[in-house]
Amino acid sequence: MRNVVMMAGLIAMLWSAGGWADAVLVAEKSAIRFVSVKNASVAEVHHFSNLKGSINQEGRVNVNIPLVDVETNIPVRNERMREMLFEIASFASASIEADVELPALLAMDSGDYTSMNVFFELNLHGKTQMLSSKAGVARLGDELHVTTLAPLVINVASFDLADGVERLREVAGLKNIATAVPVTAILVFKL
């Protein structure tokens, strides 16, 4: 308990002195993954790379997802998703915003772990939805590792992506593509 009080005091002192910088997302250790299911039984895992983000001293989390960096391991499918689904000419990125209790997270010792409900705003394809997810948070040295504990299922219609999914289905000659998409994330922030 004494360590927590001392840490909270140190954090308050650094903030008041303007000495604390934003925690920055480590792109090479972070990923947002999603699963597509086609023809009712073929599931494939895709991801976004080159994520950018931070946690400011008020505990405001911002993560930017460049949709141009979708990776499906098939170049033509990457291009089709960029153009036909995400329509990157009009919607270049998606974003996640949330508020966290930063002092409590910074007071964690290296090796500590906690789980929490995270409420966040997802802005995708010009639509914004309030969502929530159970997340695990681990403090490892000077990094916070935040991981979804269960997939978040996104309904593509909620973000006006159903027409894009249908275009992808037609061009690929598929019977169907699921419109409920499981999404997981690991976000690593350097303190």
CATH number, domain of 93, equals 2.40.128.110
Indicate if the alpha-carbon torsion angle 122, 23, 114, 49 is positive or negative: positive
Residue 15 lies in a domain: no
pLDDT per residue as tens digits for the range 11-51: 444 444 444 579 999 999 999 999 999 999 999 999 998 99
- In this prediction, residue 96 carries a pLDDT of 98
| Tally of domains within the chain | 1
Most distant pair of Cα atoms in the chain: their distance: 63
Residue 111 corresponds to which amino acid?
A: G
Is it the case that residue 171 has pLDDT exceeding 50? yes
Residue 2 lies in a domain: no
CA atoms of 173 and 40, how far apart (whole Å): 14
Residue 109, domain extent: 21-190
Is it the case that residue 129 has pLDDT exceeding 70? yes
Residue 47 lies in a domain: yes
CB neighbour list of residue 66: distance below 8 Å, 6 or more residues apart: 48, 50, 51, 52, 92, 93
CA atoms of 180 and 157, how far apart (whole Å): 9
Exposed (0-12), middle (13-18) or buried (19+): which is 105, by Cβ within 10 Å? buried
Q: Which two tokens stand for residue 100?
A: 């966290």
pLDDT per residue as tens digits for the range 54-88: 999 999 999 999 999 999 999 999 999 999 999 99
Q: Output the pTM of the full model.
A: 0.88
